[in-house]
């Protein structure tokens, strides 16, 4: 059987095609999936109902990203700090994650999705670790979307571990300070080999990073929506991408450098415009 994402149909396929032709589809999207509890509370439901419905949002987002040709999708599912929540909620979240992996891995595999994980995986319950590692192993040769689950993850955890690994190498291989470069640090953090996110989506209207990919988000475009995660579906993903396509990513430079001619004449004209001479 041929592998690939199930294709979008009807109006959805048309919307996706329009997105592909109107601009660049971000290669890496990262999502802070927030607001499950508030979504449930608003409906007079227990927080757990929000977490369950959040799984539906994950399913729809993963499918739409695969169809659009997004290369990497990183989902912040459980942070280092989330361990501090009431024990019942933590254990429910762990069970829900286990169930979601059990229910979804087959479909992900058929859709050519490659599963990966970042975070302190050893801290997760044994059963969840096993399910996760099995899913990663089973899907490792898939060539479609790479789905990166951030579990027991935090940016500071990531950087701390990278620094420890680097310190070990310094001692073992007698490295000097010149060996410590940005590239070297990037290759020691948990997302080594994965390009930095192009677009970060945060739901529930909070304007903060909450200890997510601190190093990797240096030049990521940020899209914040007031919608709670369980209410997030592909229409809002499309909106985030449309918004992203309107941005100018300058990476510290000025607009003319991005659009101006690369020839000397162009460069000369550009310098003139800067100096006014």
CB 147 within 8 A of CB 115: yes
Size of the site for ligand IPE (CB under 6 A): 18
Contact pick of 58, 64, 73, 93 for ligand IPE (by CB under 6 A): 93
Q: Which of residues 46-85 bind ligand IPE (CB under 6 A)?
A: 76-79, 82
CA 199 to the chain's CA centroid: 8
Residues 185, 252: Cα–Cα separation, whole Å: 21
- List the one residue from 35, 135, 144, 197 that touches ligand IPE (CB under 6 A): 35
CA distance 258 to 270: 11
Query: 74: helix, coil or strand?
Result: strand
Instruction: Return the number of the residue (26 or 54) whose C-beta is nearest ligand IPE.
Output: 54
Nearest to residue 28, comparing CAs of 158, 205, 179, 195? Answer: 195
Contact partner, 16, from Mg ion, ligand IPE, none, Cβ < 5-8 Å per class: none
**Of 123 and 254, which has the nearer Cβ to ligand IPE?**
123
Site for ligand IPE contains 230 (CB under 6 A): no
d(CA 70, CA 234): 13
Q: Which of 17, 24, 127, 206 binds ligand IPE (CB under 6 A)?
A: 206
User: Of 82, 120, 196, 211, which residue is the catalytic one?
Assistant: 82
Of the candidate residues 34, 53, 63, 104, the single one contacting Mg ion (CB under 5 A): 34
Q: How far is the CB of 209 from ligand IPE (least distance, A)?
A: 8
Q: Sheet harboring 221-224: ordered strands across?
A: 114-118, 146-153, 72-79, 28-32, 199-202, 221-224
Residues annotated catalytic, as ranges: 34, 82
């Amino acid at each position: 059987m041929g592998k690939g994402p199930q294709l979008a149909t009807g109006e959805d396929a048309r919307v996706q095609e329009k997105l592909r032709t109107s601009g660049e589809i971000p290669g890496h999207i990262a999502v802070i999936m927030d607001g499950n509890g508030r979504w449930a509370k608003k409906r007079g439901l227990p927080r757990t109902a929000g977490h369950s419905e959040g799984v539906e949002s994950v399913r729809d987002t993963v499918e739409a990203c695969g169809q659009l040709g997004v290369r990497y999708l990183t989902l912040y599912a459980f942070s280092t700090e989330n361990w501090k929540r009431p024990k019942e909620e933590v254990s429910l979240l762990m069970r829900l994650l286990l169930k979601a992996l059990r229910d979804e891995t087959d479909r992900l595999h058929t859709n050519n999705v490659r599963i990966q994980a970042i975070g302190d995986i050893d801290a997760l319950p044994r059963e969840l670790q096993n399910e996760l590692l099995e899913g990663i192993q089973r899907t490792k040769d898939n060539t479609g979307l790479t789905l990166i689950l951030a579990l027991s993850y935090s940016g500071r955890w990531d950087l701390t571990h990278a620094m420890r690994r680097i310190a070990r190498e310094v001692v073992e291989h007698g490295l000097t300070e010149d060996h410590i470069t940005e590239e070297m640090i990037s290759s020691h953090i948990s997302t080594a080999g994965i390009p930095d996110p192009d677009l970060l989506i945060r739901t529930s209207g909070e304007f903060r990073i909450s200890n997510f990919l601190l190093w990797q988000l240096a030049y990521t475009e940020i899209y914040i929506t007031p919608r709670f995660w369980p209410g997030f579906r592909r229409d809002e993903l499309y909106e985030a991408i449309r918004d992203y396509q309107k941005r100018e990513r300058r990476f510290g430079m000025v607009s003319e450098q991005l659009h101006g001619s690369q020839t000397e004449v162009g460069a000369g004209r550009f310098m003139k415009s800067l100096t006014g001479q």
